[in-house]
Amino acid sequence: VSSIVLVILIIILLGVGAYYNGFSNAVLDWRYTLSPILIALLLSISGILNLEILRKISTFLLLLVTLNSFIIIIQYYSFDGNFQGNWRYDFLNEQNLKINPEYIERMTQYQIVRGDELRSSGVFLSALHAAYITALISVYSFICSILEIKNYRFFYFFIFLTNFIALYLTQVRVGFLIIILSLISFSMCVFLKKYTPRSVIIILIISTILFVSLLFLNQDMLDESILGRIPQYLYLFENFNLFGHGLGSYYGKFDSYYVNGFLTFGILFAFWILYIIREYINIFSDLSYSKNSILVLAYCSIIPALLFSLLQHFIGSLYYLVIWFLLFGLIRYKYELKKIK
């Protein structure tokens, strides 16, 4: 019932956004923000999205993302210093100008290079989007290197190292936060031989606070991209509307998923986050620990996604879609277990 209510709500939000912010703006925002959630939700309701399908999707992504990681490595070491000649430069300019007509072109430089070094992304337009999914696949391959059949463990560990190196070359620091938080969760369930969702949430929140504190205390790591988050959160507090400003009002204008979410949807966004946390706790509180790599991946990835997105806007990325596939795939799995019982 709650899933059907969520589907209806998503459709209503599109209508409200189109009425207040224009049809094209609302549809663009809906396409990247809500349609991935709706797709995962409908596939879950229909019974298509199950653990076996998730395993096939994860294996397919592991191969594709690893191939992209090799491209990232080649791009990085063949970069000649001419960022304007990079294939992403014109695409990024056009895309950002569509979202924000006041976009400053020099900001594109930061998306392609940091200092004199390329922020390599392979076939992805954004180094951020490349880093998110590369971090997720790094976690998945590491989990498989520990839990899968011994004959394949070296293969998975090689995949992990390849993606880890590629992640470093994207120069996206938050990618390492994803890995750190995920591996903390993984270590807890492996050593304790059980899922402890409430404890994981508390420990990961503390870890995220420590990570952010380190960024602010370390002058070498403190740059405009980090300091830029502060005025964005101040803007949120000054312009917060209980009912939000609607789809299409702020798409792509903020670095934080939470700033964008609260400004767009108001108090509904808080209920969405609470819904995710509630489902996560309910699912893993009832499950016995197993070496199923998909269950473990979901256990280790959903909460880190909620935490790192305090710092980054991950809407529109492949990672964003996969996280909701994992969440609603698990909800379906729990539903099927209840039917069997």
pLDDT score, position 153: 87
Residue-wise burial string across 226-246, b where 16 or more C-beta atoms lie within 10 A, e elsewhere:
beebeebbeebeeeeeeebbb
- Is 118 in a helix, a strand, or coil? strand
Element (DSSP H or E) covering residue 153: helix 153-170
* Virtual torsion, Cα 186, 188, 193, 197, nearest 10 deg: -90
- What residues does 118 pair with on adjacent strands? 113
pLDDT score, position 223: 56
pLDDT score, position 215: 66
Q: Comparing 28-37, 178-187, 227-236, which segment has the lowest mean pLDDT?
A: 227-236
Q: Comparing 65-79, 158-172, 306-320, which segment has the lowest mean pLDDT?
A: 306-320
Q: How far apart are CA 220 and CA 50, in angstroms?
A: 45
Helices and strands, counts by H and E, the chain:
16, 2
Does the pLDDT of residue 224 top 60, yes or no? no
229: confidence class by pLDDT, cuts 50, 70, 90: confident
pLDDT score, position 10: 82
Does the pLDDT of residue 214 top 80, yes or no? no
Does the pLDDT of residue 91 top 90, yes or no? no
Q: Which two tokens stand for residue 249?
A: 């009002």
Task: Please give the model's pTM, rounded to 2 decimal places.
Answer: 0.90
pLDDT score, position 138: 97
Q: How far apart are CA 3 and CA 50, in angstroms?
A: 16
Residue appearing with tokens 């400053």: 104
Calculate mean pLDDT across residues 96-114. Answer: 69
pLDDT score, position 190: 87
286-332 pLDDT tens trace: 888 888 899 999 999 999 999 989 888 899 899 999 999 999 999 99
244-291 pLDDT tens trace: 898 988 877 888 899 999 999 999 999 999 999 999 999 998 888 888
pLDDT score, position 193: 87
Does the pLDDT of residue 145 top 60, yes or no? yes
Q: How far apart are CA 54 and CA 65, in angstroms?
A: 16
pLDDT score, position 102: 59
> Can you give the length of the chain in residues?
341
Task: Give the gyration radius of the chain's Cα atoms.
Answer: 20
